[in-house]
Amino acid sequence: MAVYTEVSDEELAEFISPYNVGELLSYKGIAEGVENSNFLVHTTGGNFILTLYEKRVNRDDLPFFLNLMQHLSQKGLNCPTPLDRGNGEMLGELAGRPAAMVTFLEGMWVRRPRIEHCAELGRGMAEMHVAGSDFDMVRPNALSVDGWQPLLDATRDRAHEVMAGLAEELTLELDDLTAKWPANLPTGVIHADLFPDNVFFLGQKLSGLIDFYFACTDAFAYDVAICLNAWCFEPDGAFNVTKARAMLDGYRRIRPFTSAEFDCLPLLCRGAALRFLLTRLYDWLSVPEGALVVPKDPMEYLRKLRFHRDVTSAETYGLDL
Amino acid sequence: MAVYTEVSDEELAEFISPYNVGELLSYKGIAEGVENSNFLVHTTGGNFILTLYEKRVNRDDLPFFLNLMQHLSQKGLNCPTPLDRGNGEMLGELAGRPAAMVTFLEGMWVRRPRIEHCAELGRGMAEMHVAGSDFDMVRPNALSVDGWQPLLDATRDRAHEVMAGLAEELTLELDDLTAKWPANLPTGVIHADLFPDNVFFLGQKLSGLIDFYFACTDAFAYDVAICLNAWCFEPDGAFNVTKARAMLDGYRRIRPFTSAEFDCLPLLCRGAALRFLLTRLYDWLSVPEGALVVPKDPMEYLRKLRFHRDVTSAETYGLDL
């Protein structure tokens, strides 16, 4: 749950005046997004989400994120569309922070995804990859293989507090992944954080993707690997091959895999597991005692990492070439 | 900011099905209310607020609060109206907690109230007192003079951490207030927590009162005293007699004061200051180190208490008989 920047009624009324959204009727801070402060704003023109970018988001990256959402919307993808402040700019400043207003998306995220949700996710992710293929801005993935070493260095001395031998296991893993990480897979804009809370549904139909603040330029199949980890394991840790097959089939109907993507999938899944393991470990060790925010369990991702280490072919994920 | 109970999409869809509000379209946890978890729920039937009552609220009090809101709405007051679950009941259960849906009120609370807001508040509070005069349920005020002794007892040993001599000063104050506390003032339903964040405005017009979860049966003038403290002091601690006069004049146009209320006002203001001082002191000493919630400063209310101790007549508040 986010810590909110306080926004006064007077500041907000002034901030929204350049937008073509009518009069301010109400606004509420909402418990969505961990990195930023978000408000649901109601005006005579409709519902909008106002985001204040807090310090964990690099200000220089904001044009990439906002232009990407605008580009994807124009291509017909359901995602938040940033509003123009009347001067061609999508970014303003509010309460001392960069801020943007985006359209409100109906829908809810699914706490317990079923097979049909996984199929929809696969389709929606592939549509995003295709819609972004002619987006002309580039943002390297700061949390890909080059970014993992600093995270491991920052957590190495205290990793044993979570599990004895954890630092040693992760060091071996990272060395192996660094040596084998593929360089020439089909690349484009990926979401890089398509966890269930960023995918909205109305009934069993995907109604939109949100939270593009980890989006970057990277291998499409790495986005798929992140989703295999986030959507296709059961709460007890078991891999659900039926969900994986549904997701991958949904994806391939829109964008087929190359044979290189097929071959690399187990390795990419290991990498994607290590990436979330490391950031969760970092957060776990950083949260002060007594804090009200419960960090996510890094060990969930160690179990996923170990699962993928035993996978010899993408066929294990229900995929057939 | 509240800590939220997690509510799943499936649980919520099931919970709202008995209401006549159509299909669920979205819901967001909102940062409103310290005692309960609140969600803004959007359905094909409109916007609603869903409240889950957390353990600080006594379940036995809920019928009083919900029936009161229903009564006040029926009298034409703008306040959240609890929805019927189709069986005549306003209270249901969700995620293991008592839960209710109420209508959504447009408007925003004013961070820096001006004179015209104080005048509107006075009018709105008096209208609430009048509208509640034929409400037939009774709830004693647990945070009136009899409730202060246990709070002082619970904080006495550590009050010096906030200010040297604080426990001694509060003991003298409480003894004096207990001896002099008036028993026969005009009584009825009071809100008892009409701070600016519970009063919504659209422009300079009051659009509604919210959060009736401290409402109780007590002296009307005690509600007025709470508001004098909450609305008529400037951030630098100075009492603003112009705001007080505007608020009291707004109130008296709807419901005139008796001479007993006039005479007791300085004493009631001292009591109201002590009440918020004690609960803030309790919260201040209870919050764990490193917690993300910053408790409200109890000393603000010590300064207000001392101000009222020097007041000899309600004329100081801009009131003339």
Say whether both B177 and B307 belong to one domain.
Answer: yes
Residue closest to B125 by CA, chosen among B83, B68, B77, B54: B77
- Considering the domain architecture, whether residues A280 and A137 belong to the same structural domain is answered as yes
Q: Which residues, 6+ apart, have CB-to-CB distance to B258 below 8 Å? A: B185, B186
Element (H, E) at A180: helix A166-180
Nearest-CB residue to B25 (from A8, A28, A202)? A202
How wide is the angle at C-alpha A175 spanned by C-alphas A172 and A181, nearest 5°? 130
As for the ipTM of the complex, it is 0.86
Query: Does residue B4 belong to any structural domain of this protein?
Result: no
Domains identified in chain A, total number: 2
Is B290 close to A293, i.e. CB distance below 8 A? no
Is B126's pLDDT higher than 90? yes
Q: Decide: B269 and B145 in contact? Cβ < 8 Å.
A: no
For the record, the structure tokens of A29 come out as: 């801070």
pLDDT at position B321, please?
Answer: 64
Given A77, A104, A131, the domain boundary residue is: A104
Phi and psi for A30 in degrees, rounded to 5? -115, 150
> What is the pLDDT averaged over residues A230-249?
96
List pLDDT tens digits, range A97-136.
999 999 999 999 999 999 999 999 999 999 999 999 999 9
CB-CB under 8 Å, A27 with B40: no
Judge contact between B52 and B36, C-beta under 8 A: yes
**Other Cβ atoms within 10 Å of B16 Cβ, number:** 24
Give domain status of residue A2, yes or no: no
For B307, the token pair is 């101000």
CATH number at residue A29: 3.30.200.20
Summarize chain A as % helix, strand, coil (round to 5).
45, 15, 40
User: Where does a domain end: B80, B104, B128?
Assistant: B104
Pair B151, B138 in one domain: yes
Task: Enter the DSSP assignment of A311.
Answer: -
Last residue of a domain, one of B104, B137, B158: B104
- Per-residue pLDDT reduced to its tens digit, B259-297: 999 999 999 999 999 999 999 999 999 876 655 567 788
Residues A92 and A119 in one domain: no
Check A26 against B290: CB less than 8 A apart.
no
Residue A168 counted as domain residue: yes
Q: What is the mean pLDDT of residues A219-243?
A: 97
Give the per-residue pLDDT at B55: 83
In a domain, B57, yes or no: yes
- How many angstroms separate the CA atoms of B234 and B290, rounded? 30
Mean of pLDDT over chain A? 94
Structure tokens at A204: 């069993």
Q: Please answer yes or no on whether B106 and A42 come within 8 Å at the CB atom.
A: yes
Residues A144 and A25 occupy one common structural domain: no
Q: Are residues B135 and B63 in the same domain?
A: no
Q: What is the 3-state secondary structure (H, E, C) of B81-116?
A: CECCCCCCCCCEEECCEEEEEEECCCCEECCCCCHH
Shared domain for A128 and A61, answered yes or no, is no
Higher-pLDDT residue of B271, B312 = B271
Shared domain for B25 and B162, answered yes or no, is: no
Chain segment A309-318, per-residue pLDDT in tens: 999 898 999 8
The DSSP 8-state label assigned to residue B295 in this structure reads P
Is pLDDT of B146 > 90? yes
Q: Determine which of A16, A25, A28, A32 to mutate to test the interface with B (most B C-beta atoms within 10 Å).
A: A28
Would the CB atoms of A106 and B25 count as touching at under 8 Å? yes
- Residue B63 buriedness (CB in 10 A; 0-12 / 13-18 / 19+): middle
Quote the domain boundaries for residue A64. 9-104
Find the CB nearest A4 among B9, B28, B31: B31
How would residue A1 be classed by pLDDT, with cut points 50, 70 and 90?
A: very low
Q: Does residue B249 carry a pLDDT above 80?
A: yes
Q: Are B40 and A30 within 8 A, CB to CB?
A: yes
Residues A146, A280, single domain; the answer is yes
Q: Does the residue A199 lie in any domain?
A: yes
How far is the C-alpha of A74 from the C-alpha of A81, rounded, in Å? 9
Structure tokens at B38: 């609140």
CA distance B196 to chain A (A): 12
Residues A215 and A228 reside in one and the same domain: yes
The pLDDT of residue B1 is 40
In this structure, is residue A1 part of a structural domain? no
CA angle A254, A255, A259 (to 5 degrees): 145
- Report yes or no on B50 lying in a domain: yes
Q: Report the distance separating Cα A181 and Cα A270, nearest Å.
A: 10
List CB contacts of B298: < 8 A, sequence separation 6 or more.
Answer: B162, B277, B280, B281, B284
Nearest CA to B236 out of B295, B319, B304, B169 is that of B304
Binary contact (A40, B31; C-beta < 8 A): no
**B75 class by beta-carbon count within 10 Å (0-12 exposed, 13-18 middle, 19+ buried):** middle
Q: What is the CATH number of the domain that holds B233?
A: 3.90.1200.10
**Which chain B residues have a beta carbon less than 8 Å from that of A108?**
9, 12, 24, 26-27
Do A143 and A79 share a structural domain?
A: no
Q: How far apart are CA A28 and CA B28, in angstroms?
A: 10
Contact residues on chain A for B201, CB-CB shorter than 8 A? 9
- Rounded mean pLDDT, B180-191: 97
Taking the Cβ of residue A138 and every Cβ of chain B, the question of whether any pair is shorter than 8 Å is answered with: no
Q: Are residues A71 and A114 in the same domain?
A: no
Q: Does residue A155 surpass a pLDDT of 50?
A: yes
Q: Which helix (H) or strand (E) holds B13?
A: helix B9-16
Q: Residue B17: inside a domain, yes or no? A: yes
Q: What angle do CA B11, B16, B20 make, to 5 degrees?
A: 165
| Of the listed ranges A31-35, A71-75, A314-318, B20-24, the one predicted with least confidence | A31-35
A27 touches chain B (CB under 8 A): yes
pLDDT of B3 over the 60 cut: no
